[in-house]
Amino acid sequence: MFTQEDKKQFANKGIDIDVVKQQIENFEKGFPFAKISDAATIENGGILKLSENDISKNIEIYNNYSKNIIKFVPASGAATRMFKDLLAFFNSEKAEIENKDILEFFDRIEEFAFYEELNNKVKAKFDVNIKTAISNKSYKKILEVFLFEEGLNYSKLPKGLLKFHKYSEENRTSVVEHLVEAANYANSQGVAKVHFTVSEEHISLFKNVIENKKETYEKEFNLKFDYDFSIQKSATDTIAVGMDNKPFRNADGSIFFRPGGHGALIENLNDIDSDVIFVKNIDNIVPDRLKSTTYDYKKALAGLLIEYQNKIFNYLQKLDNDEITEKNISEILNFIEKELNVKTENIKNLSFEEQKTFIKNKLDRPIRACGMVENQAEPGGGPFFVVNDDNSISLQIVEKSQIDLSNEKTNKIFQDATHFNPVDLICGVRNYKGEKFNLLDFIDHNAGFISEKSKEGKDLKAQELPGLWNGAMADWNTIFVETPLITFNPVKTINDLLRPEHL
């Protein structure tokens, strides 16, 4: 199937040929559906609901934590999908606007944080301001400046470099908003550390934006920012195939590889040397007036994680020191079942030594606390109880595409789910000895995705790696916590910036 030139291509990308063969086998066989046994809810104990006292207590635990903390922000990729309707209108022969979302964009254009800059560029290029251009129905002149390289170039920039919010003194990009957030909850010993995953061609642009604001915020928050970047590794790209499952080839005969999706970022996360890692998407950010709830819950979730982690470390140290007895082992087994929601039917039938092995296996792994918001009919994953390969049941985030909706039972479980995954994670990535886990050891490689795409008019099949917060973290210990809806305000289309939460 592969030529010598193919093998050179694999080597140049850092991809082992056996990995490519496995990916092709995945196309041929498909990925199995997740074995969900129930939706995680507050009622069945799968999701915790924190009281005011819980929040205060956990914030105090976090505030007294002095180890390494970092905020991890996936921020790569162009924001093209935000402007899908605007691009379609610009490329059409229509002069009149029929789409209500496009009408809203122009009717409320002055409310956007980028308005002033856009207006200046429209005047410079066409010698007319935006108001006049709109009254003349010169919509495409405005879009030309807004979307493309000679103007703001927003259709080609990543979301992190778009101006999201207006303030009296400045208008902030989302990357700067994340710096402000980091200063308020990812600040340890006077340093706020932030790591952004970006596309290689955008690193200098990100750096320029951050450096331009960094000193101002360091003075305002009386701290130092320590920020860095990484790019999605070429070795995590996945092969594309034709509809016959044979490698899809470019015009020059080379094999077409595509980025492996956000699941590829488990490699980037694995490279970070820290104790606690906050994970939050680049587009989920609000103005300062609404950030306090986010700060409280971020700290509360981190405090809860630390509390659970301390218990786990204590149990594992007792196991090492041979301090576990047949009398006190039930406390640990109860913690695993009731608090970590890892359930297994035959644990009581195992011998004492087998129970200790079970404890070691289930506790000695990474842990994450995940905020969950009430369902709002958003696309994406949610919290479920899932049957593992060893027939134990644990909490996992599962995407809709991983669920067999043609099965009446699993479809009902999916429909009855009460909460949604907003990608609000706090991760503990060291073991009880202080050693960093190799996160790649805890991936469920059967949790990938296959989708149909096209290139140059030809149909192809693409494969995404197990998602960062789905299959890539499937073998982590997980705590789900309900968080308020105000903590989830993603920007998927440009008009989302006109919602009250962003103005």
CA distances from 62 to 33, 57, 97, 299, 304 (A): 37, 9, 52, 6, 8
What are the beta bridge partners of residue 424? 280
215: DSSP letter: H
* Residue 351 identity: S
pLDDT for residue 80: 81
Instruction: Specify burial of residue 177 (Cβ count, 10 A radius: 0-12, 13-18, 19+).
Output: buried
The percentage of the chain sitting over the pLDDT mark of 90, rounded to a whole number, equals 82
**Total Cβ atoms within 10 A of residue 146:** 25
Instruction: Enumerate residues 6+ apart whose C-beta is below 8 A from 392.
Output: 342, 343, 344, 362
- pLDDT exceeds 70 at position 42: yes
pLDDT for residue 86: 94
| SS3 label, residue 17 | helix
- pLDDT exceeds 80 at position 304: yes
From the list 335, 458, 475, 454, the residue with the least C-alpha distance to 394 is: 475
**169-173: long-range contacts at Cβ-Cβ below 8 A with a sequence spacing of 24 or more?**
171/113, 171/114, 171/116, 171/117, 172/113, 173/209
Asked if 464 and 263 touch (Cβ cutoff 8 Å), the reply is yes
pLDDT for residue 363: 96
pLDDT for residue 377: 67
pLDDT for residue 378: 66
Asked if 443 and 475 touch (Cβ cutoff 8 Å), the reply is yes
Task: List phi, psi (to 5°) of 375.
Answer: -55, 135
- pLDDT exceeds 70 at position 92: yes
Rounded Cα distance between 385 and 453, Å, is: 31
pLDDT one-digit tens code per residue, 55-75: 999 999 999 998 899 999 998
H/E element, 298: helix 291-320
Q: How confident is the model at residue 94 (pLDDT cuts 50, 70, 90)?
A: confident
Tell me the DSSP string of 359-411: HHHHHSS-EEEEEEEE--S-SS-EEEEEE-TTS-EEEEEE-GGGS-TTSHHHH
Domain annotation for the chain: domains and CATH numbers: 4-79+160-502 (3.90.550.10), 80-156 (no CATH)
Rounded Cα distance between 459 and 452, Å, is: 7
CA distances from 412 to 50, 395, 402, 404, 499 (A): 27, 18, 14, 10, 32
Rounded Cα distance between 293 and 468, Å, is: 25
pLDDT for residue 360: 94
The percentage of the chain sitting over the pLDDT mark of 70, rounded to a whole number, equals 99
- Cα of first residue to Cα of last residue in the chain, in angstroms, is 55
- pLDDT exceeds 90 at position 482: yes
What are the beta bridge partners of residue 464? 449
Half-sphere exposure of 501 (CA within 13 A, CB side): 16
Asked if 199 and 231 touch (Cβ cutoff 8 Å), the reply is yes
Tell me the DSSP string of 317-343: HHHHTT---TTTHHHHHHIIIIIS--B
pLDDT one-digit tens code per residue, 171-222: 999 999 999 999 999 998 899 999 999 999 999 999 999 999 999 999 999 9
Asked if 369 and 423 touch (Cβ cutoff 8 Å), the reply is no
Lowest mean pLDDT across 74-78, 87-91, 124-128, 188-192 = 74-78
CA dihedral (284, 288, 294, 298) in degrees, to 10, reads 100
Asked if 281 and 175 touch (Cβ cutoff 8 Å), the reply is no
Asked if 486 and 500 touch (Cβ cutoff 8 Å), the reply is no
Asked if 85 and 99 touch (Cβ cutoff 8 Å), the reply is yes
pTM: 0.93
pLDDT one-digit tens code per residue, 358-412: 999 999 999 999 999 998 766 678 999 999 888 889 999 998 888 999 999 999 9
Mean per-residue pLDDT of the chain: 93
pLDDT one-digit tens code per residue, 425-475: 999 999 999 999 999 999 999 999 898 888 888 899 999 999 999 999 999
Instruction: Enumerate residues 6+ apart whose C-beta is below 8 A from 343.
Output: 337, 385, 392, 393, 394
170 alpha carbon, distance to own chain's centre: 28
* Residue 178 identity: H
From the list 279, 301, 232, 234, the residue with the least C-alpha distance to 65 is: 301
- pLDDT exceeds 70 at position 12: yes
pLDDT one-digit tens code per residue, 237-284: 999 999 999 999 998 999 999 988 888 999 999 999 999 999 999 999
| SS3 label, residue 149 | coil
Asked if 22 and 12 touch (Cβ cutoff 8 Å), the reply is no
Instruction: Enumerate residues 6+ apart whose C-beta is below 8 A from 266.
Output: 439, 440, 443, 465, 468, 472, 473
